[in-house]
């Protein structure tokens, strides 16, 4: 029989563990506007659903007086619960315990979660707030980090992995989040970098603030390391919860299908007049997305990084899809290094987790110039090409206007196993724009004509009539149908229904060699 005394002892031990590094450390955390590990977990999970593992596990370090700094559970809270009724494994580093620094014991706790997440097929969410490797432990801590990295890699493509950065994340510690599928960073309180401003100053003679070097805004707009810069912990956690609604639990399942009240055949007359008469004028591709998806509800990923390509999740008739779309409203929607990498990573995530892809195309080509070429535009542009080519999920494509050159091939074309490829009547499928084409073809004749400008204008008109339309591609079957823009939603929903049971395979191999 369990005695009353034993029960009281258990409650005492639990209460002690829940205090982490102590009330004074909790107060300090709160004074800085930061929540504790357990408060963050409570915010993420359905009320009352959290069950903790390894609450009494302690570190084994006896160096540097560490035997006097032993805290039950050590510097990370781990366990599982539900988000919207679906199981999620979660860990939250506890900054109140030795700055959340990673001990061998903490690594074991996180590895246990990753093993369970993989075995049982449920996502892992990591809430990071840590001073990095526990300095007193040295190699044990480094070994622990490496054990986590290995499992992050093994879990990649098996279960979704999501990281929130809610405090410091520096040194090699950044690589665990970097190996996960999505990173959300909290503005002001969080940063990620390999070495801090002091080392940067001494090695590179650069003066830089923590925020400039590794803040949420920088990583969400310049480096592309982070998918979202959250205003607060609550905002970061709300983002993760919403993200989870669009994705399946693991690579053997499909994302949940939600009931849809938005009529499947709802026409959108606004789409008829969206494309400007002048082919060189911009418009906002997000309007096409918002007009066609269920209830105008679009969840954008990496909104502030490479905005010339839009990626994110939405639903058509309740079915979760990944949307990739050129944005003519930014740099004319051109593909460059950053947008290619952004698109490739997103396409590969969707393909890992059985999420169909819907691609909206209006792209004038790849961005030329030395900056791009020196930066490896060839190597990086090949990534999005590779990603679309290897993807076996349903791929639905709508060309709204330009689909020029190599960028036509890349953007989910028929040739890369696009399943259903539509074009609007305004589509121009060509090797390049009319002006560029006639300048290459007729420069000598233009010079000889006496009025080069008029000659080229006439030839441009001719070329446009002959080539820059969707009919030549449709004649060859590279476009399955030319559709009325207002009916785009209905046609995408039909195409998704048609491809719902699609099964496609790549040749057996150890793994491909995506250009890196």
Active centre residues (catalytic): 171-172, 406-407
Asked if 142 is part of the footprint of ligand HXC (rule: CB under 6 A), the reply reads yes
Q: How far is the CB of 195 from ligand HXC (least distance, A)?
A: 9
Q: Which is nearer to ligand HXC, 32 or 506 (CB)?
A: 32
Site for ligand HXC in 173-192 (CB under 6 A): 173
Q: How far is the CB of 179 from ligand HXC (least distance, A)?
A: 12
Task: Say how far apart CA 506 and CA 348 lie, in whole Å.
Answer: 14
Q: How far is the CB of 197 from ligand HXC (least distance, A)?
A: 11
The contacts of residue 63 (CB under 8 Å, 6+ apart) are 136, 137
Of 114, 133, 310, 387, the one binding ligand HXC (CB under 6 A) is 133
Q: How far is the CB of 390 from ligand HXC (least distance, A)?
A: 30
Q: Which is nearer to ligand HXC, 132 or 215 (CB)?
A: 132
Asked if 145 is part of the footprint of ligand HXC (rule: CB under 6 A), the reply reads yes
Strands 124-128 and 309-316, by their bridges, are unpaired
Asked if 134 is part of the footprint of ligand HXC (rule: CB under 6 A), the reply reads yes
Asked if 132 is part of the footprint of ligand HXC (rule: CB under 6 A), the reply reads yes
* 79 in Cβ contact with 51 (< 8 Å): yes
Q: How far is the CB of 389 from ligand HXC (least distance, A)?
A: 34
Task: Say how far apart CA 339 and CA 333 lie, in whole Å.
Answer: 9
Asked if 99 is part of the footprint of ligand HXC (rule: CB under 6 A), the reply reads yes
Q: Which is nearer to ligand HXC, 57 or 402 (CB)?
A: 57
Task: Say how far apart CA 324 and CA 348 lie, in whole Å.
Answer: 12
Asked if 135 is part of the footprint of ligand HXC (rule: CB under 6 A), the reply reads yes
Asked if 98 is part of the footprint of ligand HXC (rule: CB under 6 A), the reply reads yes
Site for ligand HXC in 146-175 (CB under 6 A): 168, 170-173
Q: Which is nearer to ligand HXC, 200 or 497 (CB)?
A: 200
Q: Which is nearer to ligand HXC, 190 or 320 (CB)?
A: 190
Give the 3-state secondary structure of 152-217: HHHHCCCCCEEEEECCEEEHHHHHHHHCCCEEEEECCCCEEECCCHHHHHHHHCCCCCHHHHHEHH
CB atoms within 10 A of CB 10: 11
Site for ligand HXC in 112-131 (CB under 6 A): 131
Q: Long-range contacts made by residues 40-44, C-beta under 8 angstroms, separation at least 24?
A: 40/92, 40/127, 40/164, 40/166, 40/233, 40/237, 41/77, 41/79, 41/81, 41/90, 41/92, 41/127, 43/233, 43/234, 43/237, 44/81, 44/83, 44/88, 44/90, 44/125, 44/127, 44/237, 44/240, 44/241
Q: How far is the CB of 132 from ligand HXC (least distance, A)?
A: 3
Residues found near ligand HXC in the complex (CB under 6 A) = 98-99, 101, 131-136, 142, 145, 168, 170-173
């Amino acid at each position: 029989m369990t005695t009353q005394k034993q029960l009281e002892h258990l409650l005492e031990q639990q209460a002690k563990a829940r205090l982490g590094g102590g009330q004074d450390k909790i107060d300090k955390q709160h004074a800085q506007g930061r929540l504790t590990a357990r408060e963050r977990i409570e915010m993420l999970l359905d009320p009352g659903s959290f069950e903790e593992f390894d609450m009494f596990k302690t570190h084994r370090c006896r160096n540097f007086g560490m035997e006097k700094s032993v805290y039950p559970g050590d510097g990370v809270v781990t366990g599982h619960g539900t988000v919207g009724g679906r199981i999620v494994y979660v860990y939250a580093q506890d900054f109140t315990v030795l700055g959340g620094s990673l001990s061998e014991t903490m690594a074991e706790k996180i590895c246990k979660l990753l093993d369970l997440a993989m075995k049982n097929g449920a996502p892992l969410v990591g809430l990071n707030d840590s001073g990095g490797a526990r300095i007193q432990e040295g190699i044990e801590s480094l070994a622990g980090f490496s054990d986590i990295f290995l499992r992050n890699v093994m879990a990649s493509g098996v279960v979704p992995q999501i990281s929130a950065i809610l405090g410091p994340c520096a040194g090699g510690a950044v690589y665990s989040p970097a190996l996960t599928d999505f990173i959300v960073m909290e503005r002001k309180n969080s940063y990620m970098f390999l070495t801090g401003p002091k080392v940067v100053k001494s090695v590179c003679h650069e003066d830089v603030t923590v925020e400039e070097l590794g803040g949420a805004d920088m990583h969400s707009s310049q480096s592309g390391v982070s998918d979202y810069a959250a205003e607060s912990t609550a905002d970061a956690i709300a983002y993760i919860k919403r993200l989870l609604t669009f994705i399946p639990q693991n690579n053997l399942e499909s994302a949940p299908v939600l009931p849809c009240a938005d009529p499947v055949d709802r026409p959108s007359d606004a789409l008829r007049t969206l494309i400007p008469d002048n082919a060189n004028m911009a418009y906002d591709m997000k309007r096409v997305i918002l007009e066609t998806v269920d209830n105008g509800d679009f969840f954008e990923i990496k909104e502030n990084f490479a905005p010339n390509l839009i990626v994110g999740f939405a639903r058509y008739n309740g079915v979760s899809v990944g949307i990739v779309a050129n944005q003519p409203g930014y740099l004319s929607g051109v593909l460059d290094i950053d947008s290619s990498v952004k698109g490739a990573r997103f396409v590969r995530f969707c393909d890992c987790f059985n999420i169909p892809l819907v691609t909206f195309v209006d792209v004038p080509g790849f961005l030329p110039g030395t900056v791009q070429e020196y930066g490896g535009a060839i190597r990086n542009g090949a990534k999005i090409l590779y990603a679309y080519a290897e993807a076996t999920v349903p791929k639905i494509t709508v060309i709204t206007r330009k689909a020029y050159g190599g960028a036509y091939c890349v953007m989910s074309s028929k040739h890369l196993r696009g399943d259903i490829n539509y074009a609007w009547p305004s589509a121009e499928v060509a090797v390049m724009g009319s002006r560029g084409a006639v300048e290459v073809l007729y420069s000598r004749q233009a010079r000889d004509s006496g009025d080069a400008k008029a000659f080229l204008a006439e030839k441009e008109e001719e070329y446009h009539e002959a080539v820059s339309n969707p009919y030549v591609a449709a004649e060859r079957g590279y476009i399955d149908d030319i559709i009325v823009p207002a009916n785009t939603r209905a046609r995408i929903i039909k195409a998704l229904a048609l491809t719902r049971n699609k099964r496609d395979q790549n040749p057996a191999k150890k793994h491909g060699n995506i250009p890196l």
